Copies of this chain bind each other. A is one copy, B any other.
């Protein structure tokens, strides 16, 4: 394939946000698509991922990875098709998923590729959601860190979201009681009706503490925490002896500058000999296929449900993060690019 005439639209970081990234922090620029060199491939992105973690990637504060530089293409997962290949591992026509950025085309020597997508019977978009980092995160955060056991109670915050909904469903498969926390009636209903949670509570409720206590009559053994803040402060006093709290995100904390305060957790952890553990999916990169092998059959058997919210066109990307923090999305958010 000749690539010289192709135009690459790229969403670049224009200005560093202090808190939540807004559309105005990005701009779309166009550039020529480069020819792949020996060892490289050219990927036509078909789906761009929109993830809450992106806030951390553009903020300047110390984090688990270096921030995206001003003028750099926005870091993101994307899935697409190899349209030109000088790398035998990824032949032309193969489907790949990786850190390909918010752009139409990406050239990589393969380092950016997380995996070749082999589940060609399933929609490619799933490789960014339930069969992508979201599913893999849910799988390892719950199994490796949460260590659920049958009969125990698993509480999940952002329960209607792309990760939380998988955590809850996997907890049910383990024979646990799954209790979701989500914002608003539409989402709590989604948790129970679509994802099968035993109960779901609305974090907007002024009676959250009582509602949670009622939903967890035997206390909380595993808390999958994607929010931190007030929601966690309400869950943590309910933990049982040897409870496991998995910190996967801090969505409800708008800014860590100045660093926010909250009720100290030490005494809860001590009294219950409980554990609180940060989870970074990068630590499980070498075990990625193990998770997909467990999750894909569940998807095919319709035992693992998911929701997608697809926005069309790269123009939708810059403004697509901020919404997530208002809890406006009803499923894994993706940007769909048209195949040309």
Write the chain B residue with the least CB distance to A260: B264
Contact call B253/A269, Cβ cutoff below 8 A: no
Count of identical protomers in the assembly: 2
Write the chain B residue with the least CB distance to A281: B273
Which residues of chain B come closer than 8 Å to A270, judged between CB atoms?
Answer: 64, 247-250, 278-280
Complex: how many Å from CA A266 to CA B231?
A: 12
Interface residue tally of chain A, by bracket?
A: 35 or more
Which residues of chain B come closer than 8 Å to A277, judged between CB atoms?
Answer: 269, 273-276
Complex: how many Å from CA A108 to CA B151?
A: 37
Contact call B265/A64, Cβ cutoff below 8 A: no
Contact call B275/A250, Cβ cutoff below 8 A: no
The 4 closest A-B pairs by CB, nearest first: A269-B278, A270-B278, A228-B266, A273-B280
Given A242-B283, A253-B267, A273-B277, 13 extra CB contacts under 8 A: A64-B273, A229-B264, A232-B266, A247-B266, A259-B263, A259-B267, A260-B263, A261-B263, A261-B264, A262-B264, A265-B265, A274-B277, A275-B277
Which A positions have Cβ atoms within 8 angstroms of B?
62-64, 225, 228-229, 232, 242, 247-250, 253, 256, 259-280, 283
